[in-house]
């Protein structure tokens, strides 16, 4: 059989050659070019053996979330107050031990950008008191060097590898005084916080006890508060909630309302739901179960139930305080979160790999890397705790 004056066999041979070359064959038609298969993707990046041996990263470890209220020289150092001098010492103590601040959102969403070998710490401030953020002049031009923001900014300037980061759980709207207690400056303060890397969180509309409220009432407390914040700062991304008094609802509907809902025309979805105290919280890439983590010493890494610790020099030997856990992590360095410095890898000791939820790691676009280099890694769940002063 002849096709366009060429035998079928010859045409077939030409067509095969043309498929590779993309040339015109028989009757003026052009054979389609066959695309070459894409190259295999490079293997996921790994943390080097040098860094593993040097820094012993553990991105499944525990994180301290510290709860502050007043920063005032007029009050003694208690669980609700820190003098400016003591707060500066807190920052220095944390810095010297290799901690670096992140926001609550960054911790809850496992999006912490830290140098290799450093550990995250979350500084939180409740109730938006004047001592947290104060201007010395009514025009808002001179920042009080002894307020919390002033101290953090000065510390960051003196320590370039320390970023001024914190989360402020504000009270704004309803019958509250304006957030940070300087009328006419609220919008300016919110803008300053957002522009400089701080986070504005929700602390409810009226500081109500959520344990006594219905799910609908909880949504009104949260939605109303966020709406009031947006009236001062329309671009504020409010994704962290600190439950007043730490009194979380007991029923499922109330707990769900703390995470997501709508009221007063305001939708919300929280990345973090935060309690008042009482322990460090494990990294949020971990599996969450009702079984206590490490014999109950640490809170599970549930972003919907993050626990905090209180600074209180009167109770330095009692679990629950900053003073206690600074010493605890000094004596148990393998228990704390240590960054691998690689945003595409989650490096953890082999002994706790089973605690990591690999689906969470994958969803973050990362690869889980495990290693066994030393007995000084994190204790396995159920293992006896090493002795620690005051325990």
pLDDT tens string 101-121:
999 999 999 999 999 999 999
Is there a single domain that holds both residue 202 and residue 93?
A: yes
Q: Examine residue 387 and state whether it is found in any structural domain, yes or no.
A: no
Structural contact between residues 251 and 212, judged by C-beta atoms closer than 8 angstroms: no
Query: How big is the chain, counted in residues?
Result: 391
pLDDT given for residue 293 in this prediction: 79
* Statement to judge: residues 20 and 144 lie in one domain: no
Residues 321 and 185 reside in one and the same domain: yes
What's the average model confidence in pLDDT over 175-199?
Answer: 97
CA distance linking residue 251 with residue 95, whole number of Å: 40
Check whether residue 23 and residue 172 sit in a common domain.
Answer: no
Q: Are residues 231 and 157 in the same domain?
A: yes
Q: Is residue 38, in this structure, part of any structural domain at all?
A: no
3-class secondary structure per residue, the chain = CEECCEEHHHHHHHHHHHHHHCCEECCCEECCCCCCCCCCCCCCCCCCHHHHHHHCCECCCEEEEEEECEECCCCCCECCEECHHHHHHHHHHHHHCCEEEECHHHHHCCCCCCCCCCEEEEEEEECCCHHHCCECCCCCCCECCCCHHHHHHHHHHHCCCCCCCCEEEECCCCCCCCHHHCCCCHHHHHHHHHHCCCEEEECCCCCCCHHHCCHHHHHHHHHHHHHHHHHHCCCCCCCEEECHHHCCCCCHHHHHHHHEEEECCEEEECCEEECCCCCCEECCCECCCCCCEHHHCEECCCCCCECCEECCHHHCCCCCEHHHHHHHHHHCHHHECECCCCCCEEEEEHHHHHHECHHHHHHCCCEEEEECCCCCCCCCCCCCCCCCCCC
Q: Does 380 map to a domain?
A: no
Backbone angles phi, psi at 96, to 5 degrees: -65, -25
Which pLDDT tens digit goes with each residue over 271-321? 999 999 899 999 999 999 877 778 789 999 999 999 999 999 999 999 999
Report whether 325 contacts 119 (CB < 8 A). no
> Pick the residue with more confidence: 385 or 326?
326
Residues 174 and 301 in one domain: yes
CB atoms within 10 A of CB 31: 18
Judgement on whether residues 155 and 72 belong to the same structural domain of the protein: yes
d(CA 222, CA 236): 14
Rounded to an integer, what distance in angstroms lies between the CA atom of residue 304 and that of residue 281? 11
Range of the domain at 136: 49-371
Residue of 288, 248, 250, 251 whose CA lies nearest to 270: 248
User: What confidence score (pLDDT) does residue 255 get?
Assistant: 97
Strand partners, 3: 6
Encode 86-115: b = buried (16+ Cβ within 10 Å), e = exposed: ebbebbeebbeebbbbbbbbbbbebebebe
User: pLDDT grade, residue 391 (50/70/90)?
Assistant: very low
Structural domain includes residue 166: yes
> Is the pLDDT score of 23 beyond 60?
no
Residues 6+ apart with CB under 8 A from 305: 248, 273, 275, 299
Cα–Cα distance for residue pair 149/133, rounded to 1 Å: 6
Provide the pLDDT confidence category of residue 22 given band limits of 50, 70 and 90. very low
User: Could you tell me if 20 and 161 lie in one domain?
Assistant: no
14, 155: one domain: no
Average pLDDT (360-389) is 67
**Percentage, residues of the chain above pLDDT 90:** 75
pLDDT at 35: 66
Q: For residue 202, is it within any domain?
A: yes
Residue 1 placed within a domain: yes
Position 3 pLDDT exceeds 60 = no
pTM summary value: 0.85
Per-residue confidence band for 40, with pLDDT thresholds at 50, 70 and 90? low
What is the distance between the alpha carbons of residues 207 and 210, in angstroms, rounded to a whole number? 9
Any domain includes 40 = no
The reply to whether 174 and 56 lie within a common domain is yes
Distance of CA 331 to the CA centre of its chain: 25
Q: Of 237, 301, 270, whose CA–CA distance to 65 is shortest?
A: 301
375-380 average pLDDT score: 44
Q: Is residue 389 assigned to a domain? A: no
CATH number of residue 96's parent domain: 3.20.20.370
Answer yes or no: do 323 and 240 share one domain. yes
29 with 150, same domain? Answer: no
Number of domains in the chain: 2
Q: How far apart are CA 97 and CA 119, in angstroms?
A: 9
């Amino acid at each position: 059989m002849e096709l366009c004056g060429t035998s079928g066999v010859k045409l077939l041979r030409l067509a095969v050659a043309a498929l590779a070359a993309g040339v015109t064959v028989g009757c003026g038609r052009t054979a389609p070019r066959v695309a070459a298969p894409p190259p295999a993707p490079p293997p996921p990046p790994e943390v080097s053996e040098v860094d593993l041996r040097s820094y012993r990263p553990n991105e499944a470890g525990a994180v301290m979330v510290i709860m502050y209220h007043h920063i005032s020289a007029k009050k003694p150092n208690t669980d609700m107050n820190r003098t400016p001098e003591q707060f500066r010492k807190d920052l220095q103590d944390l810095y010297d031990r290799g901690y670096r601040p992140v926001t609550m959102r960054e911790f809850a969403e496992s999006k912490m950008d830290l140098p290799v070998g450093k550990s995250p710490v979350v500084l939180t401030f409740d109730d938006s008191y004047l001592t947290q953020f104060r201007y010395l002049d009514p025009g808002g031009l001179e920042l009080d060097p002894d307020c919390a923001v002033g101290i953090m900014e000065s510390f960051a300037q003196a320590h370039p590898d320390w970023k001024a980061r914190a989360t402020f759980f504000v009270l704004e709207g309803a019958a509250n005084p304006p957030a940070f207690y300087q009328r006419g400056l609220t919008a300016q303060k919110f803008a300053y916080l957002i522009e400089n890397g701080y986070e504005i969180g929700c602390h409810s509309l009226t500081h109500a006890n959520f344990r006594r409220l219905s799910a609908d009432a909880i949504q009104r407390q949260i939605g109303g508060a966020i709406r009031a914040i947006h009236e001062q700062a329309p671009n504020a991304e409010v994704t962290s909630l600190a439950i007043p008094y730490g009194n979380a609802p007991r029923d499922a509907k109330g707990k769900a309302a703390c995470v997501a809902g709508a009221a007063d025309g305001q939708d919300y979805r929280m990345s973090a739901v935060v309690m008042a105290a009482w322990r460090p919280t494990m990294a949020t890439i971990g599996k969450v179960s009702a079984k206590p983590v490490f014999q109950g010493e640490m809170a599970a890494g549930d972003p919907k139930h993050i626990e905090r610790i209180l600074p209180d020099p009167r109770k330095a030997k009692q679990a629950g305080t900053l003073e206690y856990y600074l010493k605890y992590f000094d004596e148990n360095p393998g228990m704390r979160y240590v960054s691998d410095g690689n945003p595409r890898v989650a490096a953890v000791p082999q002994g706790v790999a089973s605690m990591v939820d690999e689906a969470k790691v994958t969803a973050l676009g990362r690869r889980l890397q495990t290693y066994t280099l030393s007995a000084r890694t994190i204790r396995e769940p159920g293992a006896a705790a090493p002795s620690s002063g005051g325990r």
